[in-house]
Amino acid sequence: MDFDKGDIRFGILYKNDIIFLLFKFGSQNWMDVPYTCFLSEPYVFDPLNDNEGYGMITFLIDANTGILKVARLLGWPNKMSKLFKQYVIDQQSRPFDKTIYDRVLNNIYRNYSTDDLVRMADIFKLRGQ
């Protein structure tokens, strides 16, 4: 199964003050997740050494039953982790208005497909096990 143990490609894009995290599990289609630090719990970043990256747990849940099928810990590449931290710090320095955020996000989705976002993103690869 691609989600469980396959190769993963990551992408990160900072567009119009919104961070887009992009994921491709094996041969599956790319997925995108918009992120703003203002809509999540406050977080303090640990410092990163050159060979370290942040971790993230992904869950595959059966939409029909709600049953958890797979949980997988992913280690982000160092450069992607540094970009994410930089983008979050930039977001934190700007004012936030949920109405404007929703409008900007909807406009991005009206004008760009997930594949378009991937083409604009920095892309990284993690080998499966």
Query: Residue 129: pLDDT above 60?
Result: no
- Tell me whether residue 58 is in a domain: no
Look at the chain and report how many structural domains it folds into.
1
pLDDT tens column, 100-113: 999 999 999 999 99
pLDDT, residue 3, reads 74
- Torsion 22-96-56-63 (CA) sign: negative
Please indicate, yes or no, if residue 66 is contained in any of the structural domains: no
Gap between the Cα atoms of 23 and 25, Å rounded? 6
Write out the residue range of the structural domain in which residue 119 sits: 2-51+78-126
pLDDT at 82 over 80: yes
**First CA to last CA distance, the chain:** 11
Share of the chain above pLDDT 90, in %: 69
8-state DSSP, 29: P
Q: Is the pLDDT of residue 128 over 70?
A: no
